[in-house]
Amino acid sequence: MLACCGLSCEHIPFLKLGRVLDDGSNLQSLYQRQYNDLLKLWLYTEGPTKMLQFCGAEHPHNTHVCEDCLNLLLNEQHLRRLMSISQEKANSLLLSYQLKAAQQCQTTQV
């Protein structure tokens, strides 16, 4: 099971959620587990391009979002930077996620 439908997802181990029944998991447990991962919530709320900017990376114009994700998640230096965020930034990301998820729920209910 993959956390993303993007073309580069197969090349990014972080986005592989697991295999159904290999570890006793089912689809629902694999799906729900990703919501305990701040990095995945950050990808959802801000996207890889903005996260690359957070890392101070040079960003070429006209790249596909999947390329940005590959650049971000396969670069050890970027991952170290992402994992060293402040508690304030983490709290801000969690709030952004909750607001975006609530907005999406309202949109789908209309």
**Domain parsing of the chain, residue ranges:** 7-109
Q: Which pLDDT tens digit goes with each residue over 5-58? A: 888 888 999 999 888 776 667 888 888 888 899 999 999 999 999 999 999 988
Share of the chain above pLDDT 70, in %: 95
Write down the residue that tokens 């790249």 correspond to.
63
CA distance 13 to 62: 25
What is the CB neighbour count within 10 angstroms for residue 3?
19
Across-strand partners of 2?
Answer: 16
Q: What is the pLDDT of residue 23?
A: 66
Tokens of 105: 């729920």
* pTM metric for this prediction: 0.84
